[in-house]
Amino acid sequence: MKIDIFDTTLRDGFQQEGISPSVKDKLAIAKLIDELGVDYIEGGWPGASPKEKEFFDKAKKDLKLENAKLVSFGSTRKLNVKVEDDPQVQALIDSETEYVCIVGKSSNLHITKALETDVDSAILMATDTVKYLKDNGRKVFFDAEHFFDGLKEDSDTTLKILDAVVKEGVDCFIFCDTNGGTLPHEVTDLLTPIVEKYPDQSFGVHFQNDNGCAVTNSLAAVNLGVEHVQGTMNGYGERTGNADLCTLIPNLSLKMDFETVPEESLEKLTPIANHIAELVNIAIDSRHPYVGSSAFTHKAGLHASGMSKDNTLYEHINASQVGNYTRTTVSELAGRASVITKAKEFGIELTNDDAKNLIEQVQDLEYQGFQFEAADGSLYLLMKKIKGEEPSFFDFESFRVYSKEETLKTLFQKLFVKYL
């Protein structure tokens, strides 16, 4: 079964505190996400700011996507404004994207408190906008804001909005957990009857990660038959972020056998994730699943020993499947297998006696306060010393010391070295 991957990094992801990319960076990131092979890239809200407008203007000319469809984002028409007269709806048309995604209220609380209107008016705002965009040749995704909270508060209102938008011919109806508080069992309980009632309708999900369940909730929804999932690279997003595509995609592909991105593209996941992190100037957590630098790193001696025999003993997938790699660190906890494996990374062959000697020296030095996990250069020199192959980086050619006592003491030293 094919699961459509909808990337909203450029829009929802960049609502994260501390991220404010230039138009040039947004275009570069869009190309990287396209290289990953996702189906849709939400570029932003063309009517929101001059920067957003500039992005879509430049995208028309300069952004050549090979895999993904660019999507423009907006909202339903404003209250008491005709859809054809709403400037932000017109901005969606002017963006010239084939696909548009509009957000609309689906919670009675938000309709009455935020919009300060009634349910019937909110329904018309949604259906008018869907119809207008469809009449203008667009494929329309509808982000039902606060859908899960709406079902819990007043399911009649939420389901009434769902039914009206589906009947208007929306291409995909997206259940949004905007506040990020829904749990996996609630996803199953709330969505099962809906998916069963509309077997021919395409449904999607958009989960925020406020309770840490965004990826798990997305997987639960897919198990129910939802075929469209939204998320962001590295989990970027407002507050605690969105469903993390760097975790979600490999889970769907490698663990659940769904078709998401091409296999050869999945092998680029780690370098693409890190490149995007560099562009937004926020480093990826080393312990990030799949793409973190420590995701396939082994420190304990028992683990390293097992890995030297078969990597499936202590790794749930082959690291290369997501473009990462296995590595071993050496510390006072290391066993012989750890140091022998690490030495092979340096092109050094250690005997068991060499390894024992190295472990003793590392333990002694770490007891004094040294640390070797992040000091591969120091570890390399220690290994070469044990092998009697300590490299010589320079030789003394000559030196001279000149000392003179006057009113003020002076000391001159000259050292001449030859680098090898």
**Gap between the Cα atoms of 371 and 382, Å rounded:** 13
- Residue 102 scores a pLDDT above 90: yes
pLDDT confidence of residue 260 = 98
Q: Which two tokens stand for residue 173?
A: 């109806």
Q: Which two tokens stand for residue 239?
A: 């507050």
- Map residue 256 onto helix, strand or coil: coil
d(CA 58, CA 413): 61
Cα–Cα dist 414/400, whole Å: 5
**How far apart are the C-alpha atoms of 284 and 271, rounded to whole Å?**
11
Residue 332 above 70 pLDDT? Answer: no
- Of 140, 165, 22, 170, whose CA–CA distance to 71 is shortest? 140
* Residue 21: HSE in the Cβ half-sphere, 13 Å Cα cutoff: 29
**CB-based burial label for 236 (10 Å; 0-12, 13-18, 19+):** buried
d(CA 342, CA 175): 48
Residue 331 has a pLDDT of 58
Higher local confidence (pLDDT), 397 or 129: 129
| CA–CA gap between residue 119 and residue 111 (Å, rounded) | 7
Burial 178-205 (b: 16+ CB within 10 A, else e): bebebeeebbeebbeebeeeeeebbbbb
CA dist 5 and 245 (Å) reads: 8
Q: What is the mean pLDDT of residues 337-364?
A: 81
CB 332 within 8 A of CB 371: no
Structural domain boundaries in the chain: 4-261, 297-386
CA distance 300 to 370: 18
Tokens 């996400």 -> residue: 33
Confidence band, pLDDT 50/70/90 cuts, at residue 321: very high
Residue 6 · residue 245 · CB < 8 Å: no
Q: How far is CA 86 from CA 59, 89, 143, 165, in A?
A: 23, 5, 19, 19
As a whole number of Å, the end-to-end CA separation of the chain is: 60
Rounded to whole angstroms, how far apart are CA atoms 128 and 55? 27
Tens digit of pLDDT for each residue in 188-237? 999 999 999 999 999 999 999 999 999 999 999 999 999 999 999 999 99
Query: Contact at 8 Å (CB) between 165 and 104?
Result: yes
Please name the residue ranges forming H helices in 255-398. 263-266, 269-280, 301-307, 336-345, 352-367, 376-386
**Spatial contact of 194 and 162, defined as CB atoms under 8 Å apart:** yes
CATH number given to 4-261: 3.20.20.70
pLDDT higher at 411 or 261: 261
Distances (CA, A) of 277 to 14, 270, 281, 324: 12, 11, 6, 15
**pLDDT tens for each residue of 249-292:** 999 999 999 999 999 999 999 999 999 999 999 999 999 999 99
What is the rounded distance in angstroms from the CA atom of residue 285 to the CA atom of residue 37? 23
Percent of the chain, pLDDT > 70? 89
Q: What is the pTM assigned to this prediction?
A: 0.83
Is the pLDDT at 116 greater than 60? The verdict is yes
Cα 78 versus chain centre, distance: 33
Q: Please name the residue that has the structure tokens 């899960």.
A: 148
Report whether pLDDT(353) > 90: no
Tens digit of pLDDT for each residue in 11-28?
999 999 999 999 999 999
Neighbours of 345 (CB within 10 A): 13
Return d(Cα 4, Cα 68) in angstroms, integer. Answer: 10
Q: Quick count: other Cβ atoms within 10 Å of Cβ 401?
A: 9
How high does pLDDT run on average in the chain? Answer: 90
Measured distance CA(176)–CA(367) in Å, rounded: 52
